[in-house]
Copies of this chain bind each other. A is one copy, B any other.
């Protein structure tokens, strides 16, 4: 007897309309967005930002949310701290070049063989794209080896195909 909660449903259909929403799901979304686009150094700070976006909660809830989202707190070089989303929903810094290449059809295919991934590219493009992958997915990828039109991607230990797919999906998604 599957019955869908009307409220949840409503919100599910309005994921991007933050104005009048005050449920968890949306809040998590908002938190993600903020953390993706801003350097936030404490929960209090984040709390304030949430407030500005009509998400009024307490620090306790925020702490729970961050735990749920697996947001890590990491020191920065400038002596401050930053909350960062886990890699699979982390923005790839400087997405420009890589996506442009995809958009232009430089990346032809992606296939897996066991733990390894192979990216086929237009001739000559491999090293350029491999460099991008190296730099944007250091968390998932141990290294890449590029020939002329083929890149071998070696995921880190513990990284699943899904992880790699997620990582690339984010990238691929951006092209549209």
Which of A's residues lie within 8 Å of B, judged by CB?
66-68, 70-77, 79, 84, 86-88, 111-116, 118, 120, 127, 130, 138-139, 142-148, 150-152, 154-157
Question: How far does the Cβ of A41 sit from chain B's closest Cβ, in whole Å?
Answer: 12
Residue of B nearest to A66 (CB): B75
B156 A150 Cβ-Cβ under 8 A: no
- Output the least CB separation between A108 and chain B (Å): 10
B112–A157 CB distance below 8 A: yes
| Smallest beta-carbon distance A148→chain B, Å | 7
The residues of B that contact A71 with a CB separation of less than 8 Å are: 74-75
Which residues of chain B are within 8 angstroms of A145 by Cβ–Cβ distance?
A: 145-147, 150-152
B87 near A72 (CB under 8 angstroms)? no
Name A111's contact: one of B111, B115, B142 (CB within 8 Å).
Answer: B142
Most chain B beta-carbon contacts within 10 A, residue among A66, A71, A150: A150
List residues of chain B with CB within 8 A of the CB of A116.
154
B156 lies within 8 A of A143 (CB): no
The distance in angstroms between the C-alpha atoms of A41 and B114, with both chains bound, is 33
Distance of A55 Cα from B114 Cα, bound (Å): 43
Sample of 7 A–B contacts (CB below 8 Å): A72-B72, A113-B154, A118-B142, A143-B150, A144-B150, A145-B150, A152-B154
A155, chain B: closest CB distance, angstroms:
7
Identity of the chain B residue whose Cβ is nearest the Cβ of A116 in the assembled complex: B154
B152 and A152 form a contact (CB under 8 A): yes
Please determine whether B118 and A115 come into contact, CB atoms closer than 8 angstroms: no
Name the CB-closest residue of B to A157.
B113
